[in-house]
Amino acid sequence: MIKSNCSIEKALEELYQDWIQELQLQRLYSVHTVLCYGKDVQNFLEFVNRHLDSIPSIELLNSLTTADFRSWLSHRISLGISARSNGRALSSLRSFFRFLQQRHVIDNDSIDSIHRPKLPHTLPKSVSEIDVLKFLEIPYFFSSDPQWITNRDRALYTLLYCTGMRISEALNLQTKDISEELLIRGKGKKERIVILLPIALNRIKTYVDSCPHDLRNGYLFVGLKGKKLHTQTIDARLRKLRTQYLSYTTEHGQPFCLPDNMSSHSFRHSFATHLVQDGVDLRSVQELLGHESLASTQVYVDVDDQKMLQVFHTCSPLEKKS
C-alpha cells in the first residue's frame, strides 16, 4: 500500500503497486532505488492533495499542468532539498507517469516540460593507483576479525577494483557462477561481460576455502552468520577503515591514505579513472562499466584533465619561476 498521509483513489493505488512491481521484477532496480522511487511518488501525491485540496486520482493526475509540477518542485526547493534529490524525484515521477501512459489510463505529458535541476559538478572520489594496491595487500583490515572475514573483504575489494563492478552486482553474485568470464546484468537489465583476472580468482578461492559457511549453492559474499552481505555493512566498515588508516604505514614503512567518504563505490571510480589515465579509450571504459550513455563515462575524462592541469601548474617553468 501507499504509506501516505492522505487518501488515495483505489484504482490509482492499484496502479502504483503494479508500477512498483515492474521496477522490481522487470527493470530489476535495487531495493534501495525502488524504495526511493516509491517514496518520491508518495510525497508528490501528498503535495497534490494539499496543493489542489483534492484526493489524488487518475482523473486528477490527468488534469495536472506544467504549473502544478513547477509548484511541486518549488515547494521541495523551499524545504532545502538538494538538487540531486530533486532530480531523482523528477525521474521517479516521470517513470510513474510513463507507466500510466503505457497503461492508457492518462494522456498527460506536462511533466516533460519540467527541466531537471542543475547539479553541482563534482568529481568522483577515487583512490590513487599506488594507494589502492597497498591497501589490497594489508595483512588484515580489522585485527578482531577472523581470518576468513579478512579473506572475504580482500576478495571483494580486489574484485571491485579489477572489474569496476557495482557493489550491488558483486554482492548478488552466486558462488556457482564464478569463472574467468561473468555475464553481469546491471541497471536497466543492461548486460555486459566482466573478465576476472587471476589475482581476483585466486583471492576468491582463498576466501571460499576458508569460509566456515557452505557457499556452493548461494551468494558468494556472506556475513558472520552466513547471510547475504549488504552494501551498508561494507560501506560502514570502509568508513571505519578510513579513520583507522588515516596515518597508516605498510610493513615496509610506506605511508598511504584513503580518501574522504571512502565507500565501496570508490573502487569502481578508481578502476575507471586509472584506465582513462592509462590511455584506454572512453568507449571501452563505457562498456566495462556498463554505462547506458557515454555522458556518464565522460566524467572520468574530466578527472584525468584535472590531474593534467595540476601537473602543468606544478611543472610549468613560469609557475616554478613565480
For the cut 60, the answer to whether the pLDDT of residue 311 exceeds it is no
What is the set of domains in the chain, with CATH numbers?
10-113 (1.10.150.130), 129-264 (1.10.443.10)
Strands 248-249 and 255-256: antiparallel
Q: Between these two residues, 97 and 261, which has the higher pLDDT value?
A: 97
Describe the crossing of helices 265-277 and 294-315 by its angle, rounded to 10 degrees. Answer: 60
* Residue range 170-208, pLDDT digits in tens: 999 999 989 998 888 877 667 888 889 999 999 999 999
Q: What is the pLDDT of residue 256?
A: 60
Displacement of CA 312 from its chain's centroid (Å): 33
Is the pLDDT at 310 greater than 60, yes or no?
no
What is the pTM for the complete model shown? 0.57
Q: Tell me if 201 sits within 8 A of 234, measured CB to CB.
A: no
317 to each of 223, 305, 308, 314, 322, how far by Cα in Å?
54, 20, 15, 9, 9
pLDDT greater at residue 155 or residue 280: 155
123-133 average pLDDT score: 75
Q: Identify any residues that bridge with 185 across adjacent strands, giving them in sequence order.
A: 191
Out of 125-134, 198-207, 223-232, 238-247, least confident range: 238-247
Q: Which residues pair with 182 in a beta bridge?
A: 194
pLDDT value for 258: 72
**Catalytic sites, residue numbers:** 166, 187, 265, 268, 291, 300
- Residue 157 contacts by C-beta under 8 Å, 6 or more apart in sequence? 135, 136, 267
pLDDT at 211: 96
Q: Give per-residue pLDDT as tens, 287-297.
A: 777 665 555 55
Q: How far is CA 299 from CA 129, 192, 194, 290, in A?
A: 18, 21, 22, 15
> How does pLDDT run across 75-122, given as a tens digit for each residue?
999 998 888 889 899 999 999 999 999 999 999 989 988 888 876 655
The closest alpha carbon to 95, from 3, 191, 15, belongs to: 15
Which pLDDT score is estimated for 193?
A: 86
**For residue 229, what pLDDT is reported?**
94
What does the pLDDT read at residue 158? 95
Task: Band the pLDDT of 308: cuts 50, 70, 90.
Answer: very low
Lowest mean pLDDT among 81-90, 204-213, 245-254, 308-317: 308-317
